[in-house]
Amino acid sequence: MMTEFFMPMKPPTTTHQEKQVAVINGKPVFYEPEDLAKARAKLMAHLSKHVPAGKLQGALRFTNKWCFPLKAKHKHGDWKTTKPDVGNMSKLMMDCMTKLGYWKDDAYVSSLIEEKFWSETPGIYIKIEELN
């Protein structure tokens, strides 16, 4: 089984790494700052339109291409070499997909292909393939 779609949007630049911690009554309490909560809500809204009929199972390949709006000095298709880091971008996305029921656990993702570009059409392309 394979799931593939494109979500037209200005991709969020806030990553899961931006969670904060506060000390309340001597104990650490983790929370999401407002911009992270907004990024999560945006992804959940877009991803909810593409949830597969049944949960994907077994080993999965997750391909994720982030297409950011063009800036003056870039051309369509140029690699984006500024923040956010690709290593931090997929965590929030996969957490949202787990919550929505794309799969039982994002630990099933055995292969991850993640890229970021400047694009005339901003958005996020996703392809999920079962490898078994």
Q: Are strands 20-24 and 123-130 parallel, antiparallel or unpaired?
A: unpaired
Helix (H) or strand (E) holding 100: helix 86-100
Give pTM, 2 decimals.
0.86
What are the tens digits of pLDDT across the range 83-118? 998 888 888 899 999 999 999 999 999 999 999 999
Percent residues over pLDDT 90 in the chain: 68
Whether residue 83 contacts residue 28, with contact meaning beta carbons closer than 8 Å, is answered with no
Give the architecture-level CATH label for domain 2-130.
2-Layer Sandwich (3.30)
Give me the residue spans of the domains in the chain. 2-130
Over residues 19-47, the pLDDT tens digits come to: 667 778 888 877 677 888 899 999 999 99
Tell me the residue type at 26.
G
Backbone conformation region of residue 78, classed left if phi is above 0, alpha if psi is from -120 to 50, else beta? beta
User: What pLDDT shows up at residue 16?
Assistant: 62
